[in-house]
A and B are shown apart, each in its own frame.
Chain A
Amino acid sequence: MICQECNQKPAALHFTKIINGEKTEVHLCEKCAQEKGEMFIFNGESGFAFNNLLAGLLNIDPTFQKPSQSPFHQEEILQCENCSMTFPQFLKIGRFGCAHCYETFKEQLKPVLRRLHSGNWTHNGKIPKRIGGGIHLRKQIEELKSELSESITREEFEKAAEIRDEIRALENKLANSQEGGE
């Protein structure tokens, strides 16, 4: 396949864009792609043109959005209360404005995170010590609670009692650690 831009070199990059169900294919050689800026060029630590990719991930074409909205259902634009960043702004620059943005945009963010981190969207690593204890305990308590209801449905009451005591002990520990922590 020949590059559709210069019609000279073989196409090395193939894009398929799907916008509102309409499919467009683009075939470019490396040089033309670079010039068009549609390629995720690796240059230094900052990496590829992340914002282009991000808008693509969400299948949002910014030029498309406004005219297609009917005046009756004017959707509110999501905006972070803390730093005033809007979601379209985030898409444009690919960076958040503050820590609070993660909470503000959490629904929109989930599919993005899944695609960026091969399906993962929740943290599974280090936890700061200052909140660490609490989180671990709460997770443990949640797990035990679901175990408890399971054993009750299975009518294993002796085991259920054991689990209940364990939960109480952990809840006490949690209360103590929070008092101590403040």
Chain B
Amino acid sequence: MSLERFLNQAVSSWMSEEGPDSDIVLSSRIRLARNFESYKFPTLFSHDEAKMIIANMEEVIAKSDLQRFGQMELLKIEEMQPLQKRVLVEKHLISPHLAEDSPYGAVLLTENEEVSIMINEEDHIRIQCLFPGLQLSEALDAANEIDDWLEDKIHFAFDEKHGYLTSCPTNVGTGLRASVMMHLPGLILTQQINRIIPAINQLGLVVRGIYGEGSEALGNIFQISNQITLGKSEEDIGRDLKGVVSQLISQERSAREALRKTSNIQLEDRVFRSLGVLSNSRIIESKEAARCLSDVRLGIDMGYIEKISKTILNELMILTQPGFLQQYAGGSLRPHERDIRRAALIRERLQMEQQK
């Protein structure tokens, strides 16, 4: 398969399109947790109940579809190949929990992959909307629309006092998890991030490095999300998160300006060295690739590099993960072979940019 065709199939809209503030915010995601009133939660439900839930969902999509979101496809976990599952996890369309620990799991996907509805994960239903850039309220509107559409046919577990009832009490109430993925190299280079993260945590929000293990943020990418789901309205949760994200955006921008003023040539050097590594290396580990991709993306945003599209960071961070590399290779690869494949894929992708 040619790289171009592979990309056309592999890249979802949030990776290749730009949204508001997309120089810093890579994507916005809304997740709503819902459960059927009449079935036991996935911790305890029987095989039959799980099947009934999937059958119910199939009925719902057969009866009507949401024009705005286009055709939906239902994929069952038990019918998927391990590699296929892994690719969906790497694209953030399903959770590792659904792929590995949910034997009766399934997922409903829209064609553009903006919407994915996980079935029989920790809760019966998890609606997820993923938008490029900072578009929390747009994503919330979309999720609400899907929720209303489902609610028309399904009685969700709800009580006046506790709101939407979820398997885990950390999600009860709105069942809403709003999260934003941000690229914050300026705050890392100016060493401000360690001061900022505890402050954000105190506001009832969680900051995590994504892709990385533990606290280390691979590619300087962080995910910020709400912790509290009960007692606040959906709009307030979104607004509070957006407020903090907006502040982070302006701090990141001023950090970048400060870097330009104080160490312009050093920064330029760093950016072009990283571009050199990406365009020439023959073996590259994911850690190094992530670091260089982050530098190159910063270089594009700050105007040092021209003629390379901004979305290359989003795209390549996803596509250079083990699952995708193996799908592109058409078979399983050992770690060392992956590093070679990764280097080749990045080189080829950068050449595509030059030919544009």
A interface residues (Cβ-Cβ under 8 A, vs B)? 41-42, 44-47, 50, 82-83, 85, 93-99, 102-103, 106, 109, 112-113, 116-131, 135
Contact = CB atoms under 8 A, between A and B. Distances in A.
A121 B95 contact: no
Given A44-B95, A46-B122, A96-B43, A113 B169 contact: yes
B82 interface: no
B231 A45 contact: no
A95 B208 contact: no
A120 B231 contact: yes
Nearest to B179: A45
Contacts of B229: 117
Interface string B185-214: 000000000000000000010001000001
Contact of B230 (A85, A94, A120, A129): A120
B208 A42 contact: yes
B99 to A, nearest CB: 11
Count chain B CB atoms within 10 A of each CB in A42, A93, A99, A127 and give the residue with the most.
Answer: A99
B204 A122 contact: no
B316 to A, nearest CB: 22
Contact of B232 (A42, A97, A106, A124): A124
B228 A99 contact: no
Contacts of B173: 117, 120, 123-125
13 contacts: A83-B41, A95-B41, A95-B43, A95-B168, A96-B43, A102-B159, A112-B169, A113-B162, A113-B172, A116-B169, A122-B230, A122-B231, A129-B148
Interface stretch (B149-157, B241-249, B342-350): B149-157
A118 B39 CA distance: 30
B218 to A, nearest CB: 14
A130 B151 contact: yes
Contacts of A97: 40-41, 43-44
A50 B233 CA distance: 24
Looking at chain B's contact residues, the main secondary structure is loop
B204 A118 contact: yes
A102 B171 CA distance: 13
Contacts of B168: 50, 94-96
Nearest to A139: B160
B161 interface: yes
Interface residues of B, number: 47
B158 interface: yes
What is the interface of chain A mostly: helix, strand, loop, or mixed? loop
Contact of A99 (B151, B157, B208): B157
A124 B231 contact: yes
A111 to B, nearest CB: 11
B289 interface: no
A120 B230 CA distance: 6
Given A113-B230, A117-B228, A124-B232, A99 B165 contact: yes
B312 interface: no
Contact of B170 (A50, A102, A131): A50
Contacts of B164: 123, 126
Given A102-B159, A125-B234, A96 B41 contact: yes
B44 A98 contact: yes
Nearest to B235: A125
Contacts of A123: 160-164, 172-174, 230-231
A126 B232 contact: no
